[in-house]
């Protein structure tokens, strides 16, 4: 097969998220003998890869020159499948008719929770400032309706042009169809993201609690610091360390917040390759208000790090089987989080059982398992195309 990934930025695996998933899937398909290419709209770094290309006009993404380049590339490389990874930016929907004009199979991937990407998860915070349950419910309903009006048209258009639309969890499908209606419901399916690291570790664990991710509002690092504030000064936990890997717009503010709370035994490490930290850590903390998939949970589990997370996004429970291979916390209870993390710190037997179980669970997200699901989808699309065309 000849496959093209269409991305917003370069598919640099060190950047995580969509970029990392694109890189590993593309190279996995390549390793099986398929011809795979990546075209990115924006050249935001000097990342180099033999299969990575960029649109020529970097000043205006929707220019005629860029559209022509994309069409010429698809034609000259005889592309059969295009995987559209740009779904989270409505402005880039202008490329959908361009791609479909080339008579290829177009698969769009929606890499997050439909409510979450546009900030609808912030609405409950607004509602909670309003006294009276009935008024709160009315405001919440209005926010959802306004969101549907604003983005429903774009999501319907994307679904109309796509031969298939992939969500990261079955639990996101009805949420997506709320905005689009069910006219094209048969096009929507789910395939999880794959683990994009090897998960080969030494087995030598340290008393480390780990966070890996972007330091932004929705990631809830402030909540992790609050949890740590009730642990770090206790004498029996003095050997434990909280390590925060990542960067973002809230880092400076949260570093000051940690100082103001007089926290000890913690560090902000900035942007780092996380493998070595996964290798050492015993407990992984997530406190996000929403996630598209929560790939870092699976990465941590592949190294035997026991994950803890607020049960705040629908597919969190797809990844973590509560009290078996991780711990789910009631959103957004700091006291419960603190209590559960202390229980795990104090109970080595429980930690060892959950660590072994987490490794086994992570295998469900291996590149081989997830890659096979993608290939099955590609073959079904191409077979259907042949039937329709009478080939």
> For the domain that residue 56 is a member of, what is the CATH number?
3.40.50.2000
Q: Are strands 188-190 and 306-310 parallel, antiparallel or unpaired?
A: unpaired
Answer yes or no: is 248 within a domain.
yes
The 10s digit of each residue's pLDDT in 48-85 is 899 999 999 999 999 999 999 999 999 999 999 999 99
| Same domain for 294 and 223 | yes
Task: Copy the structure tokens of residue 225.
Answer: 């610091």
| Same domain for 375 and 360 | no
Q: Which residue has the higher pLDDT, 232 or 93?
A: 232
Structural domain span for residue 293: 208-364
The 10s digit of each residue's pLDDT in 302-337 is 999 999 999 998 889 999 999 999 999 999 999 999
Answer yes or no: is 234 within a domain.
yes
**Contact residues for 83 (Cβ-Cβ < 8 A; gap 6+):** 3, 4, 5, 6, 107, 109
Check pLDDT > 50 for residue 145: yes
CA dist 316 and 284 (Å) reads 14
The 10s digit of each residue's pLDDT in 243-262 is 999 999 999 999 999 999 99
Average pLDDT, the chain: 91
Answer yes or no: is 202 within a domain.
no
CA dist 217 and 196 (Å) reads 25
CA dist 365 and 293 (Å) reads 11
Return the pLDDT at 387. Answer: 58
CA dist 308 and 299 (Å) reads 13
Check pLDDT > 80 for residue 136: no
Task: Give the residue carrying structure tokens 């080339």.
Answer: 102
Task: Give the residue carrying structure tokens 């299969």.
Answer: 51
Instruction: Please answer whether residues 105 and 80 qualify as being in contact, where contact means their C-beta atoms are separated by less than 8 angstroms.
Output: yes
| Same domain for 314 and 264 | yes
167-181, 247-261, 343-357, 361-375: lowest mean pLDDT where? 167-181
Answer yes or no: is 105 within a domain.
yes
**Contact residues for 98 (Cβ-Cβ < 8 A; gap 6+):** 67, 70, 71
CA dist 320 and 266 (Å) reads 26
| Same domain for 313 and 372 | no
Cα torsion for 360, 361, 365, 368, to the nearest 10°?
Answer: 30
| Same domain for 336 and 286 | yes
| Same domain for 296 and 181 | no
| Same domain for 163 and 239 | no
| Same domain for 185 and 228 | no
| Same domain for 75 and 179 | yes
| Total domains present in the chain | 2
**Contact residues for 352 (Cβ-Cβ < 8 A; gap 6+):** none
Task: Copy the structure tokens of residue 388.
Answer: 């329709």
| Same domain for 376 and 307 | no
């Amino acid at each position: 097969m000849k496959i093209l990934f269409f991305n917003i930025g370069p598919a640099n695996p060190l950047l995580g998220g969509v970029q990392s998933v694109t890189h590993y899937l593309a190279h996995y398909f390549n390793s099986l003998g398929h011809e795979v290419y990546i075209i990115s709209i924006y050249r935001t770094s000097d990342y180099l890869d033999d299969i990575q290309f960029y649109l020529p006009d970097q000043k205006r993404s929707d220019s005629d020159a860029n559209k022509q380049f994309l069409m010429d590339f698809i034609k000259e490389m005889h592309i059969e499948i295009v995987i559209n990874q740009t779904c989270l930016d409505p402005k880039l929907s202008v490329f959908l008719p361009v791609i479909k004009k080339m008579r290829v199979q177009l698969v769009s991937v929606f890499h997050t929770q439909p409510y979450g990407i546009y900030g609808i998860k912030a609405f409950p915070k607004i509602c909670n400032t309003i006294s009276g349950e009935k008024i709160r419910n009315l405001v919440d309903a209005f926010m959802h309706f306004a969101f549907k009006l604003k983005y429903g048209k774009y999501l319907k258009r994307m679904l109309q042009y796509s031969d298939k639309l992939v969500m990261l969890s079955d639990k996101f499908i009805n949420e997506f169809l709320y905005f689009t209606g069910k006219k094209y419901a048969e096009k929507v399916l789910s395939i999880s993201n794959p683990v994009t690291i090897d998960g080969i570790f030494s087995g030598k664990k340290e008393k480390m609690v780990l966070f890996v991710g972007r330091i932004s509002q929705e990631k809830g690092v402030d909540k992790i610091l609050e949890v740590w504030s009730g642990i770090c000064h206790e004498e029996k936990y003095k050997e434990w360390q909280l390590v925060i890997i990542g960067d973002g717009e809230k880092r400076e503010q949260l570093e000051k917040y940690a100082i103001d709370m007089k926290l000890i035994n913690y560090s902000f490490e900035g942007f780092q390759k996380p493998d070595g930290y996964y290798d050492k850590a015993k407990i992984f903390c997530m406190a996000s208000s929403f996630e598209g998939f929560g790939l870092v949970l699976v990465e941590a589990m592949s190294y035997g790090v026991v994950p803890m997370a607020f049960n705040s996004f629908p597919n969190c429970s797809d990844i973590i089987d509560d009290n078996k291979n991780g711990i789910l916390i009631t959103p957004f209870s700091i006291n419960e989080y603190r209590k559960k993390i202390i229980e795990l710190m104090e109970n080595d037997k429980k930690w060892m059982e959950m660590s072994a179980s987490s490794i086994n669970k992570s295998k469900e997200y291996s590149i081989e398992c997830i890659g096979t699901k993608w290939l099955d989808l590609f073959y079904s699309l191409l077979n259907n195309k042949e039937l329709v065309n009478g080939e």
